[in-house]
Amino acid sequence: MNTKKKLLLSSLAALMLGLTGCQSSITVNPDNKQSVVVPKSPNKVVVMNYGALDTLDALGKGSIVTATPLSVLPTYLQQYKNANVIDTGNMKEPNIDAIKQAKPQLIIIDGRQASHTEEFTKIAPVINLSVDAKNYLESTKNHINVLANITGTEETANNLIQSLDAKVNNAQSVAQASNKKAIVAIHNDGKMILINASSSAALIHDVLHVKRAVPLAPQPTNGIGKPKPTFIDNSYISKVKPDIIYVVDRSKAIGQSAMKDDFFNAKVLAKSKTEVVYLTPDLWYLSGGGAESLDRQIDEVINALK
């Protein structure tokens, strides 16, 4: 083979390698549920999921977020309430026109918007990063890695995950050394309900190993097959005597009337030696399952045990 032919073939081979390396899309499979082909390194992303939003922020990729729900934006994400970010409206009833206006290359959702998936896919590829309550920590780390693979920030993600693992391990040590037992409850419109099998409870009890004051058991159902709620009141506190009640105030998180300071009788709490720990409402009810939200949630849980 002459020199000119060798040079030509070498050039063609280099060109082919270059084209192969220019990957414009990537296949992701969050939580091993459904593979989705999405753009690699997108620069316009609609984020309906606050856990994903805080993860992108932690990965240093907040600038690619072009739209998100702004009406109930958690306090720790207020930097996204600016002229460069379009408001996508209510989390459960998103503004489709606003999302189209953002011209996204990717749309990130959670379970609240799952019913709109078909509508969204007509606009851009969609990935659902709802946290898996049964595998809370692994699901969160998986989502961090998914977003890192999409944005090309794998090294940053590795550092974030190592930091979270260390923090979880330390929190577990604190929880195991403590004799305190807890329940997790949600306040909604003047009622307090036990949420023993929720994602919040999964994080507190299953991931961080805070001891349960009430064993996890199948939830009883009413006559039509729906879960029968367990209401938390002064009588319940007197009976169960939890050391801690971790409260997620849904009403306050969505801008409605917050739980009253005297919801529980002070004498009942004192006699039962029960402490009420008010978790940050918008962090726990609207967000979670993200690199930054998980870090903040761990602090709130463990500080109550010290």
Phi, psi (5° rounding) for residue 68? -165, 160
For residue 166, tell me if it sits in a domain: no
User: Does the pLDDT value for residue 57 go beyond 50?
Assistant: yes
Residue 93: predicted pLDDT: 92
Helix/strand/coil for 172: helix
Whether 1 is covered by a domain: the verdict is no
Query: What is the value of pTM for the model shown?
Result: 0.89
CB atoms within 10 A of CB 68: 24
Asked if 112 and 41 sit in the same domain, the reply is: yes
Domain membership of residue 187 (yes or no) is: yes
221 and 265 housed in the same domain: yes
Establish if 8 belongs to a structural domain.
no
Q: Is the pLDDT of residue 193 over 80?
A: yes
Residue 189 shares a structural domain with residue 144: no
147 plus 184 within the same structural domain: no
Q: Name the band, by pLDDT with cuts 50, 70 and 90, for residue 217.
A: confident
Single residue among 109, 126, 157 that ends a domain in this structure: 157
Q: List CB contacts of 248: < 8 A, sequence separation 6 or more.
A: 184, 185, 186, 187, 195, 200, 279, 281, 284, 285
Task: Kindly state whether residue 295 falls inside one of the protein's structural domains.
Answer: yes
Helix axes of 136-151 and 154-177: crossing angle, nearest 10 degrees: 160
Examine the domain organization and report whether 41 and 110 are in the same domain: yes
Which pLDDT score, from 0 to 100, does residue 190 have?
A: 96
Are both 184 and 291 inside the same structural domain? yes
Whether 201 and 293 share a structural domain? yes
My answer on whether 134 and 242 are in the same domain is no
5 in a structural domain:
no
- What is the distance between the terminal CA atoms of the chain, rounded to a whole angstrom? 77
Burial of 298 (0-12, 13-18, 19+ CB in 10 A): buried
CATH of the domain at 144: 3.40.50.1980
CA distance 90 to 230: 29
pLDDT of 201: 97
| pLDDT for position 110 | 95
Q: What pLDDT, in 10s, does the model give residues 126-152?
A: 999 999 999 999 999 999 999 999 999
Bridge-partner residues for 87, per DSSP?
Answer: 68
* H and E: helices and strands count for the chain: 12, 12
Kindly report, residue by residue over 94-109, the tens digit of the pLDDT.
999 999 999 999 999 9
**Does 139 share its domain with 212?**
no
Q: Which stretches of 12-154 are assigned E, i.e. beta strand?
A: 25-28, 36-39, 45-47, 65-68, 86-87, 106-109, 126-128
Based on the domain organization, do 189 and 235 belong to the same domain?
Answer: yes
Question: What pLDDT digit, counting tens, does each position of 9-49 carry?
Answer: 333 333 343 333 445 999 999 988 889 999 999 999 999 99
Whether residue 189 has pLDDT greater than 60: yes
**Is residue 112 in some structural domain?**
yes
Full residue range of the structural domain in which residue 271 is found? 179-303
Regarding whether 186 and 149 lie in a shared domain, the answer is no
Q: Are residues 65 and 188 in the same domain?
A: no
Task: Using alpha carbons, select from 284, 264, 288 the residue that is nearest to residue 276.
Answer: 264
Rg of the chain over all Cα atoms, to the nearest angstrom? 23
In a domain, 19, yes or no: no
Question: What's the number of domains the chain is made of?
Answer: 2
